[in-house]
Structure 1
Amino acid sequence: MQKQLWAIGAILCATALYIAGNGLIGVLIPVRAHMAGFSNLTLGIIGSFYFTGFVGGCYAGPRLLARVGHSRTFGIGAGISAATILLQAMFVTEPVWILARGAFGVAAACIYMVIESWLNDRA
């Protein structure tokens, strides 16, 4: 019992950190884009590409999970998430931000899928 609680606790801790970071980035990206002088249309496109990527991740995630497993899929998603945030810090241009938000959406969908399936597997 103690071992199961420890395994679930680690997953829940990682989940809490990811969701908190995702929420902060979700607020920071539009504010930073507005400060950079992006138009309102571009802000809308950046926001919509996140959800477009999220839908794409719902299709790509199960294939990736079946091929490489839970931990590697989580690692790939976390790596892509971190890389897209760093890209947005390095290149303050509209096309880069739009594509980065789409990739972040794919990674977020994969991470959320891994978290849910991992918890179902452990329960």
Structure 2
Amino acid sequence: MARLLLCDDDPMYSLALSALLGDWGHSVKTTETAQEALDHLASHTVDLAILDVVMPGGGGVSLLHQIKDLYPNLPTIVCTGRDFLFETPLMEIGMEKADEKIKKTIDPADLLAVINRLLKQAKKVG
């Protein structure tokens, strides 16, 4: 079981994804803002973070950079429901630090494979 942080401002998506991740045996902390995510990371151990790209008050790209500055070995996944963002030059550069980039419509089996791969890689490093 891994401790996951999910930061997404869409409560329905967070509820559904955290339930799925929980069914896979993971413990999930959900936050709706970048500041809530950073506050949680400051006082809790997390094995992997999943960050929404577009959020009010500071999106996932800014949060990604803050997390990688503070916790460079924390595996991070950025996700978005706005698929076109992955092809914009600014977002490509902004998301370079992410360990993985996914669409919110990703097949659950593919998401599980991504999470397992990143957790396995992190164990080798850490």
Report the TM-score range of the alignment, normalised by the length of the smaller protein. under 0.3
- Structure 1 or 2: more strand by fraction: 2
- Structure with the bigger RCO (C-alpha within 8 Å, sep 6+) is 1
- Structure 1 or 2: more helix by fraction: 1
